[in-house]
């Protein structure tokens, strides 16, 4: 893919001065074996520089992202990773540059690790584990190690388990850092079971694995010393990452560097003993026993990025507001505010900064917009007003005036005009509802923030009443985070708050209807609830604050028609206005007259008796609105595939789909209620209710993309979000202000999102928190490699691919076929597969498409063709997971003699719970005497309560008609013994669930310790949607007041799965679980 270019901020943020003679953020530095040259990555290209420093030579100049250089043993070539074909592949280039050669072609992510000799490169990739190993199939989490020739060709698997940062001595012994499971790679300062250790692998007939470090924190990046007997590595044993020297077998190491704040990265060593490493964005060398020397580097190259990139955008609106006259819509596009005509493409840009604006709203007169902007790192409110009185529309306005409305030190956003236009309500610190008077600028509090909690920005809802005197809001009160209500607030900030719904269900999104005499809101009280985890179907309800309005609403169609006729006759009897008033009205037609709105009066004592469910069927709803007359409900709901717009005629009790697949979003009616406006993922649209016509709202928006400025804004935004929302206010003692300055200075030297996400992750890693770090989601390969769903025989060296095993439910099992293990696939779509040749290109882009395999059966001597549809690697990984679970089940059956059941909880979510519920309470499991509950390699979710309840059943009665036992109570729980398997790769709620299981004394935990990660996260997308970062923001405490974050969960029975055993297919943890349960079962006679 093309590198995302960055430029210098010109608006809103301070500019940068790029200094090529003192570059920063030089990453992946590695010294050549001969000790003369250092290769490194800078701005997405590979450079080299003499070890003494000086002018760097640019080795690659492709607009793609090039990274992770590795030297050949003779120091003549460099292998590196590049995404020039869409995903990261391994390339090789001469040390002085030239055209690189592509070595790997799979559409996954391949990164070079080391050269085994001058002719072969080891690389990491998640392609396919071996058939024998019991490594968990994790879709890229546990990569394999492969070897490929420097000429290219078919990769050969070296290890089915992950081995990172490999260093090989002359005897072939490999040092590597292990990978036990998921955690952000750049997390620092944690002492945790998930932290990496240094191991040594000695190949041979009986390969040996030896753990060399045992510090509970991070030990990384081992490199052999020239003698091949001692080694260097990085460790946080005494604080920050520093360099240590150790001899295999020694209990202690010698610390060589003593940095106290920033981490040492990218350790490498030359054959003369000189070490090279990165520190604080620069490169250093160190001769053991001497002093570290900074490598002074200058870079002279043409600049390939821009300060500003002018663009015209016609898509990408993320939110929308409709003007009072329905002729314009204001919208937000990549953080800027625009207004466009509903009928034409003409578009006016309102803001133009690299900062983010959002939550735009029109004033009732249509001449002013209010919005929030995060300038200077703080959300505040701004208004933009049409200056010239003769100009009525923003779209065609020639002069606008922007003013800052709020001036506080607290985040202020989500502004909303009162219907009379005199005040604006907004959120302060995300949950406090405040109101500013536009004339006096006085600000008052309407609801204290303690009555709400904002999980993610934009999740709060409130709305002004038609008379501008009241506000409806979501409300959690005390401890009601999972049981929200709707509250009525006096907009003057005085008087008692009234909880209108008072239910144990989730109620919210309340809207005033029928002139303020009622409200509609969403509730899950009648919907189907998720069997496990969170989630439920919703309905729309109406609550009446006025008895007369309620009685009128209940009238049938005939009664309503008679009443309307009577009201019409009474109006005609009253007569028309006199001619003088009519002329005056005509003369003042262009003047806005303030319409008097009668103050609302509420009968709240009987409100619970005046509730009506409006939707016929519960469903997953995006939004709903009631017609002005209250006779029709319009709502967005998903029953099949995508959100449809539904209409329910309340008088005729008829429900129908108006439009299919319109998308999810907020329904915004115009004043007459004839049209609905919607901003969905596929764009903005106007929906004419009569005739069910949908028209896209098109625009042509000029957008100034300032890449450097936008990234500086994102950096500041992320820093501030963490400062505001991290799960403990003191950020665990982190010097967050100091780290802001430490990392911000790297921004001028970053011109792509790979480096940007890595730098953000380094900063976020200082928090020592789970669920954080930044992610960059690149577009990936245009033609993903397809899979056949088979294991190949790695020992086979002839032409074609020899099948070792066909995975259950894979394409070759979908129909009757002569293909079986031992057969050789000779051709794919007529192209022969030669011995040692790379076959991945033959399967590019062919998932779901018919492919012809030419197959040879050596047993029968028969050659034949087989047509099938390959699957994606994601689909194959799902089959590998099912195979892994089935193998575990068979082993438990074997170990226990059929007495013990086995279930694996894949994720802490509803589909996983339904699976374990079905399997655990099935007849086959009911016959068993106990169960092994396996939570290993579970990435989390929210399921601890349901799992604990399911496994904690205590039989208290039996159903026995005429002596026949037919069942027990409780019938929906497991009533027999259980134990739970855990490992280092349990994360988030997969830490919380075993914690609850152990705390409640349901059974024993067996396996490896689990890192303390039971904290709820918000993964927030940025204005550049390819960048996402996490905030661990809701900490969970035990009943002794201890946060579970960073609190290791120890198993009752400690068992590790050793590498040799894993590769042979042995699972010691599973065996220990069965042995434990068997001890508690009665002896079989």
- DSSP H helical ranges for 349-409: none
Q: Which residue has the tokens 């509950």?
A: 933
CA torsion angle 456 458 461 465 (round to 10): 160
Let me know: does 983 contact 937? Beta carbons within 8 Å: yes
How far is the first Cα of the chain from the last one, in angstroms, to the nearest whole number? 67
What does the alpha-carbon distance between residue 449 and residue 467 come to, in Å, rounded to a whole number? 24
- Give CA separation, 541 vs 209, 525, 557, in Å: 64, 10, 20
Backbone phi, psi, residue 891, to 5°? -65, -40
- Which residues are CB-contacts of 938 (< 8 A; sequence separation ≥ 6)? 905, 906, 907, 908, 986, 987, 989, 990, 993
Which class for 904: exposed (0-12), middle (13-18), buried (19 or more C-beta within 10 A)?
buried
Q: Which of 189, 648, 771, 991 is catalytic?
A: 771
User: Which residues on adjacent β-strands are paired with residue 621?
Assistant: 637
User: Which residues on adjacent β-strands are paired with residue 1017?
Assistant: 1032
Let me know: does 65 contact 750? Beta carbons within 8 Å: no
What does the alpha-carbon distance between residue 848 and residue 655 come to, in Å, rounded to a whole number? 38
Strand order in the sheet with 773-776: 773-776, 1027-1035, 1015-1021
Pairing of strands 930-934, 900-904: parallel
CA torsion angle 461 465 470 473 (round to 10): -10
Q: How many Cα atoms sit within 13 Å of 1037 on the Cβ side?
A: 6
Taking CA 826 as the corner, what is the angle to CA 820 and CA 828, rounded to the nearest 5 degrees?
100
1045 is known as an active-site residue: yes
> For 45-59, b where at least 16 C-beta lie within 10 A, e where not — what string?
bbbbbebebeebbbb
Q: Which of 710, 904, 1045, 1076 is catalytic?
A: 1045
* Token output for 1076: 């434990």
What does the alpha-carbon distance between residue 350 and residue 558 come to, in Å, rounded to a whole number? 50
Q: Does the CA dihedral 1076-1080-1081-1085 come out positive or negative? A: positive
5: which DSSP letter?
Answer: P
149 is known as an active-site residue: no
Closest CA to 185 of 234, 239, 147: 234
What does the alpha-carbon distance between residue 161 and residue 1063 come to, in Å, rounded to a whole number? 8
Q: Which residue has the tokens 């209010």?
A: 370
Q: Which of 618, 619, 925, 988 is catalytic?
A: 988
* Token output for 368: 């002013």
What does the alpha-carbon distance between residue 886 and residue 977 come to, in Å, rounded to a whole number? 21
Backbone phi, psi, residue 755, to 5°? -65, -35
1032-1036 contacts, C-beta under 8 A, 24 or more apart = 1032/726, 1032/727, 1032/769, 1032/770, 1032/771, 1032/772, 1033/455, 1033/725, 1033/726, 1033/727, 1034/455, 1034/727, 1035/727, 1035/728, 1036/992
- Which residues are CB-contacts of 838 (< 8 A; sequence separation ≥ 6)? 104, 105, 152, 153, 154, 155
Let me know: does 138 contact 117? Beta carbons within 8 Å: no
1021 is known as an active-site residue: no
User: Which residues on adjacent β-strands are paired with residue 115?
Assistant: 121
Where in the sequence numbering do the catalytic residues fall? 771, 988, 1045
């Amino acid at each position: 893919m093309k590198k995302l270019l960055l430029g210098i901020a010109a608006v809103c943020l301070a500019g940068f001065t790029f200094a090529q003679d003192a570059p920063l953020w030089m990453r992946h530095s590695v010294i050549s074996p001969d000790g003369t040259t250092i290769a490194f990555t800078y701005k997405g290209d590979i450079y080299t520089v003499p070890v003494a420093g000086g002018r760097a030579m640019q080795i690659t100049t492709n607009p793609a992202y090039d990274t992770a250089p590795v030297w050949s043993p003779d120091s003549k070539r460099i292998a590196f990773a590049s995404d020039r074909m869409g995903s990261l592949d391994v390339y090789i280039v001469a040390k002085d540059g030239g055209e690189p050669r592509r070595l790997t072609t799979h559409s996954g992510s391949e990164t070079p690790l080391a050269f085994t000799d001058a002719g072969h490169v080891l690389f990491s990739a998640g392609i396919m584990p071996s058939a024998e190993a019991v490594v968990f199939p994790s879709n890229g989490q546990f990569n394999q190690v492969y070897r490929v020739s420097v000429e290219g060709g078919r990769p050969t698997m070296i290890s089915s388990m992950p081995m990172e940062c490999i260093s090989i001595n002359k005897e072939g012994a490999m040092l590597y850092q292990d990978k036990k499971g998921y955690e952000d790679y750049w997390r620092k300062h944690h002492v945790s079971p998930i932290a990496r250790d240094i191991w040594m692998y000695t190949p041979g007939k009986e390969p040996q694995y030896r753990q060399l470090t045992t510090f509970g924190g991070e030990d990384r990046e081992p490199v052999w010393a020239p003698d091949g007997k001692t080694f260097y590595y990085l460790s946080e044993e005494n604080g920050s990452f520093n360099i240590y020297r150790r001899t295999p077998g020694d209990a202690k190491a010698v610390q060589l560097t003593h940095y106290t704040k920033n981490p040492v990265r990218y350790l490498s060593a030359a054959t003369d003993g000189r070490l090279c490493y990165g520190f604080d964005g620069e490169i250093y060398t160190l001769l053991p026993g001497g002093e570290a020397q900074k490598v002074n580097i200058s870079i002279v190259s043409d600049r390939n990025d821009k300060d500003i990139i002018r663009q015209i955008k016609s898509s990408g609106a993320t939110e929308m507001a409709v003007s009072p006259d329905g002729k314009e819509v204001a919208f937000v596009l990549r953080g800027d505010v625009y207004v466009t005509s509903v009928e034409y493409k003409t578009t006016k840009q309102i803001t133009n900064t690299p900062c983010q604006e959002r939550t735009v709203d029109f004033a009732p007169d249509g001449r002013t917009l209010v919005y929030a902007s995060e300038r200077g790192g703080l959300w505040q409110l701004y208004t933009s007003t049409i200056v010239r009185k003769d100009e009525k529309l923003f779209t065609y306005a020639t002069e606008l005036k922007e003013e800052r409305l709020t001036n506080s030190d607290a985040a202020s956003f989500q502004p909303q005009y009162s219907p009379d236009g005199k005040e604006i309500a907004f959120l302060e610190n995300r949950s406090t509802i405040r109101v500013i008077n536009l004339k006096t600028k006085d600000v008052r509090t309407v609801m204290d923030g303690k009555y709400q909690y904002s999980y993610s920005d934009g999740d709060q809802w409130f709305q002004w009443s038609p008379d501008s005197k009241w506000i409806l809001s979501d409300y959690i009160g005390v401890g009601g985070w999972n049981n929200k209500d709707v509250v009525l607030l006096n907009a003057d900030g005085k008087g008692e708050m009234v909880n209108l719904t008072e239910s144990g269900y989730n109620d919210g999104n309340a809207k005033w209807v029928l002139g303020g005499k009622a409200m509609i809101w969403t509730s899950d009280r009648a919907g189907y609830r998720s069997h496990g985890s969170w989630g439920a179907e919703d309905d729309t309800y109406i609550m009446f604050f006025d008895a007369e309005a309620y009685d009128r609403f209940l009238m049938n169609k005939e009664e309503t028609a008679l009443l309307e006729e009577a009201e019409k006759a009474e109006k005609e009897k009253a007569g028309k206005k006199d001619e003088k008033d009519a002329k005056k009205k005509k003369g003042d037609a262009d003047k806005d007259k303030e319409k008097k709105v009668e103050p609302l009066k509420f009968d709240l004592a009987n409100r619970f008796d005046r509730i009506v469910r409006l939707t016929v069927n519960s469903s997953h709803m995006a939004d709903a609105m009631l017609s002005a007359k209250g006779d029709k409900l319009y709502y967005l709901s998903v029953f099949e595939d995508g959100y449809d717009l539904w209409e329910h005629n309340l008088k005729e009790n008829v429900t129908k789909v108006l439009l299919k697949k319109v998308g999810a979003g907020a329904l915004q009616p115009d004043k007459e209620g004839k049209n609905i406006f919607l901003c969905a993922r596929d764009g903005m649209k106007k929906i004419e209710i009569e005739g069910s016509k949908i028209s896209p709202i098109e625009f042509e928006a000029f957008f100034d993309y300032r890449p450097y400025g936008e990234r500086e804004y994102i950096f500041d935004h992320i820093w501030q979000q963490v400062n505001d929302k991290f799960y403990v206010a003191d950020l665990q003692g982190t010097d967050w202000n100091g780290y802001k300055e430490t990392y911000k200075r790297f921004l001028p030297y970053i011109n792509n999102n790979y480096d940007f996400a890595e730098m953000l992750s380094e900063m976020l890693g200082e928090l020592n928190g789970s669920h954080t770090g930044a992610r960059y989601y690149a577009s990936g390969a245009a033609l993903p490699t397809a899979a056949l769903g088979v294991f190949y025989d790695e020992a086979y060296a002839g032409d074609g691919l020899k099948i070792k095993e066909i995975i259950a439910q894979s394409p070759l099992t979908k129909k009757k076929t002569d293909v079986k293990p031992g057969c050789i696939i000779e051709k794919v779509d007529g192209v022969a597969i030669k011995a040692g040749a790379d076959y991945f290109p033959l399967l590019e882009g062919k998932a779901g498409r018919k492919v012809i395999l030419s197959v040879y059966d050596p047993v029968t001597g028969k050659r034949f063709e087989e047509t099938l549809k390959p699957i994606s690697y994601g689909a194959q990984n799902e089959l590998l997971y099912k195979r892994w679970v089935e193998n575990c089940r068979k082993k438990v059956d074997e170990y226990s003699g059929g007495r013990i059941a086995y279930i694996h909880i894949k994720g802490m979510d509803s589909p996983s719970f339904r699976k374990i519920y079905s399997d655990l309470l099935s007849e086959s499991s009911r016959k068993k005497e106990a169960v092994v509950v396996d939570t290993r390699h579970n990435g989390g979710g929210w399921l601890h309560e349901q799992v604990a309840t399911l496994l904690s059943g205590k039989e208290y009665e039996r159903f026995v008609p005429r002596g026949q036992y037919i069942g027990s109570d409780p019938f929906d729980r497991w009533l027999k013994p259980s134990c739970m398997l855990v490992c280092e790769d349990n994360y988030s709620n997969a830490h919380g669930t075993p914690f609850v299981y152990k705390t409640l004394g349901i059974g024993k935990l067996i396996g490896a310790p689990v890192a303390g990660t039971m904290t709820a996260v918000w993964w927030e997308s940025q204005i550049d949607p390819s960048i996402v970062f996490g905030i661990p923001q809701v900490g969970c405490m035990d009943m002794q007041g201890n946060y579970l974050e960073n609190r290791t969960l120890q198993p009752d029975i400690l068992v590790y799965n050793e590498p040799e055993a894993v590769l042979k297919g042995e699972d010691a943890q599973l065996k220990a679980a069965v042995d434990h349960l068997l001890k508690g079962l009665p002896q079989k006679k």
